[in-house]
Chains A and B, each alone.
Chain A
Amino acid sequence: EAQVTQNPRYLITVTGKKLTVTCSQNMNHEYMSWYRQDPGLGLRQIYYSMNVEVTDKGDVPEGYKVSRKEKRNFPLILESPSPNQTSLYFCASSLSGFGYTFGSGTRLTVV
């Protein structure tokens, strides 16, 4: 089945403890991106990648890192999470930008 898989689905962590949210797609898509969704602020793009080893900042990249070492994976790294990074995170992928397939989301709570 063609899909974008995010893990974990839910995560509660403490301030400052490094974490990685994984994202993997099995559709050979070039484009991948990360978003966060917050009440009253909607969806906002964190980072995107248009090819292997190519990443670009979205509107809210502060406090996040990404890497694209291989086509299928695009992990989101929080080196030192803070409570303001508590959010619902989505990964998505696309073949040339014609329509995106979204992962199921990761609900992150930082205490």
Chain B
Amino acid sequence: KNEVEQSPQNLTAQEGEFITINCSYSVGISALHWLQQHPGGGIVSLFMLSSGKKKHGRLIATINIQEKHSSLHITASHPRDSAVYICAVSRANYGQNFVFGPGTRLSVLP
């Protein structure tokens, strides 16, 4: 079993839809990160969470430490949101040692 899992693996949405991507993990963590990888390959860090909820523009990320689960929501999705979204956790007591989920490929159609 992978230490970090994501669902769905692939997601196609129509422009304007509300999108949810899920991440579950099985190890103790010090923080959870959401990354966005553009079709060209570049990676952008979206959020770092250790508890609760964060919002940036149309993106919202939540984490439930007890359930070892995080969600990334995109409101009013747009074709420019098309990318691979990757969940990553830093293992507790291992500094900045990261393990990554497999990614969720999102396509938003106009």
Least CB separation from B41: chain A residue: A105
Task: Say yes or no: A58-B98 contact (C-beta < 8 A), given A97-B31, A99-B48, A100-B33.
Answer: yes
For the complex, would chain B's binding face be called helix, strand, loop or mixed by DSSP majority?
Answer: strand
Least CB separation from A94: chain B residue: B96
Task: Say yes or no: A42-B97 contact (C-beta < 8 A), given A102-B45, A105-B41.
Answer: no
Contact, CB under 8 Å: A43 / B90: no
Closest CB in chain B relative to A93 CB, distance in Å: 11
Interface string of A34-72 (1 = CB under 8 A from B): 010000001111001010000010110000000000000
The distance in angstroms between the C-alpha atoms of A56 and B31, with both chains bound, is 18
- Judge if B52 is at the interface, Cβ distance under 8 Å: no
The distance in angstroms between the C-alpha atoms of A50 and B30, with both chains bound, is 15
Task: Give the number of chain B interface residues (Cβ < 8 Å).
Answer: 22
- Judge if A90 is at the interface, Cβ distance under 8 Å: yes
The distance in angstroms between the C-alpha atoms of A33 and B100, with both chains bound, is 14
Residues on A lying within 8 angstroms of B by beta carbon are: 31, 33, 35, 42-45, 48, 50, 56, 58-59, 88, 90, 92, 94, 97-102, 104-105
